[in-house]
Amino acid sequence: MSDQNPVFIPGPTNIPDRVRRAMLVQTSDHRAPDFAATFAPVLDGVKRVLGTAGGDAVLFPASGTGGWEAAVANTLSPGDRVLMARNGMFSARWIDLCRRHGLDVEVIDCAWGAEAAADRYAAALESDRAHTIKAVLVTHNETATGVRSDIAPIRAAMDAAGHPALLFVDCVSSLASMPFEMDRWGVDVAVSGSQKGFMLPAGMAILGVGPKARAAMETARLPRGFFDIRDMMSANATGGFPYTPPLALIHGLRESLEMLFEEGLDAVYARHRRLADGVRRAVDAWGLRLIAERPEIASDTVTAIAVSEGVDATALTDHAYAAYGVSFGVGLGPLAGRAFRIGHLGSLTDVMVLSGLATAEMAMADLGMGVELGSGVAAAQEHYRTTRTAPVAAAA
């Protein structure tokens, strides 16, 4: 099977050659002064992508899940009450992780396909006059359903209620692909990972930590060792790491940041929007529907597509992989077998996305799903052809 086919899972994403080459480094001493010279600009670059001036960028050798744990364990105490919407598998998992840490989670259950309901956050915060809620958690981009939730209205609800809780946002599948404004949205901890918009292998949790979260760490009582952000920040301040850093990934991140800044963050976001719009047009042409309840909340990094009654979506993704060597995302949780997902984030061009849509059509035709070959591709082609901009640097 060729390893040249792009992946269409919503992360890990395709790794550009430039990034792969940048990671081919010989071992070097992470206690030598030149480590700081490599590392400091990487942290600055991550801050720029996060949209923070006052916050710190923190990298742990972990995945996004480790980032969730770091956010919670550093800022909260056993029994603390937190508030979170559950509208898909990833928000459900963060809730589960909070519970395993002994937190008391007030869950706002939303339909899988709906956004995290800002009005319900507002109501819960308004009624919490005693300010027992210590943190508000939101998944910016629910990768299981392909739904984006706006963070600004949730921050506005907190401000309107005069509520002092911390705001934690999971931006694992949105950061570096969709606009993210840590300072403007008043996010206290942002959690992401290396393997999506940053176009790297999995292996680093990438966090933004604001001043209010830093202050909370002084009194928080949940145990933390490996994920102690204070240890990390004090080592980082002198150009070091509290333990052995994932050097190859840090070199890769330096390169991926360079690629993102060369293309320009606004252009990166616009590219993701265009690619996503093409995919959505294809889904429409196939006569299928999005899991996202409304077009305006559909994610620009992943599209979750409901298959018709009687069709097994997992058989479709299995077949696409076996017959054509192309991976799409499976449906997760209650969507298993009922939906499949097309990931369209990271290093991707119009042409690459068209190849994924063409493959999905072939696989659907093979399984007798009644999709006309070329229908979705043509719809996306028309969109890409008529909205074409400059050639895409990030996919080089």
Ligand X SMILES: Cc1ncc(COP(=O)(O)O)c(C=O)c1O
Residue type, 70: A
Instruction: Answer yes or no whether residue 327 interacts with ligand X by CB under 6 A.
Output: no
Site for ligand X in 125-164 (CB under 6 A): 139, 141, 143
Q: Which stretch binds ligand X (CB under 6 A): 100-108, 165-173, 226-234, 343-351?
A: 165-173
- 65 or 349, CB closer to ligand X? 65
The size of the interface with ligand X (CB under 6 A), counted in residues, is 13
- Read off φ and ψ for residue 346, nearest 5 degrees: 90, -140
Rounded least distance, CB 260 to ligand X, Å: 19
Given the complex with ligand X, which of 30 and 341 has the nearer CB atom? 341
User: Which of 173, 301, 317, 347 is in the footprint of ligand X by CB under 6 A?
Assistant: 173
Q: Could you tell me which stretch among 146-154, 170-178, 274-282, 388-396 binds ligand X (CB under 6 A)? A: 170-178
Complex with ligand X: residue 173 or 347, whichever CB lies closer? 173
Residue 65 C-beta: closest distance to ligand X, Å: 3
Nearest distance from C-beta of residue 196 to ligand X, angstroms: 7
Strand order in the sheet with 166-170: 56-62, 203-209, 189-193, 166-170, 133-139, 81-86, 104-109
Cβ 287 to ligand X, closest distance in Å? 28
3-state secondary structure the chain: CCCCCCCECCCCCCCCHHHHHHCCCCCCCCCCHHHHHHHHHHHHHHHHHHCCCCCEEEEEEECHHHHHHHHHHHHCCCCCEEEEEECCHHHHHHHHHHHHCCCEEEEEECCECECCCHHHHHHHHHHCCCCCEEEEEEECEECCCCEECCCHHHHHHHHHCCCCCEEEEECCCCCCCCCCCCCCCCCCEEEEECCCCCCCCCEEEEEEECHHHHHHCCCCCCCCCCCCHHHHHHHHHCCCCCCCCCHHHHHHHHHHHHHHHHHCHHHHHHHHHHHHHHHHHHHHHCCCEECCCCHHHECCCEEEEECCCCCCHHHHHHHHHHHHCCCEEECCHHHCCCEEEEECCCCCCHHHHHHHHHHHHHHHHHCCCCCCCCHHHHHHHHHHHHCCCCCCHHHC
Q: Which is nearer to ligand X, 13 or 236 (CB)?
A: 13
| 6 near ligand X (CB under 6 A) | no
Torsion of CA 72, 75, 149, 348, to 10 degrees: -70
The mark string for 23-62 relative to ligand X (x by CB under 6 A, - otherwise) is ----------------------------------------
12 prior amide bond cis, ω within 30? yes
Kindly state the tokens that stand for 146.
């392909």
Judged by CB under 6 A, the residue of 6, 11, 113, 245 near ligand X is: 11
Residues 56-95 as x/- pattern, contact with ligand X by CB under 6 A: -------xxx------------------------x-----
Contacting ligand X within 182-241 (CB under 6 A): 193, 202
Tokens 């390893």 correspond to what residue?
A: 3
Q: According to CB under 6 A, which one of 170, 188, 263, 361 is a site residue for ligand X?
A: 170
Q: Which is nearer to ligand X, 95 or 358 (CB)?
A: 95
Residue 384 CB, nearest distance to ligand X (Å)?
A: 26
Work out whether 299 is an interface residue with ligand X (CB under 6 A): no
Min dist CB 175 to ligand X, Å, is 10
Minimum CB separation of residue 152 from ligand X in Å reads 19
Q: Does residue 172 belong to the site contacting ligand X (CB under 6 A)?
A: yes
Query: Between 75 and 194, whose beta carbon lies closer to ligand X?
Result: 194
* Complex with ligand X: residue 172 or 354, whichever CB lies closer: 172
- Measured from the CB atom, is 139 or 303 closer to ligand X? 139
Report the residue number whose CB is nearest to ligand X: 64
Residues that bind ligand X (CB under 6 A): 11, 63-65, 90, 139, 141, 143, 170, 172-173, 193, 202
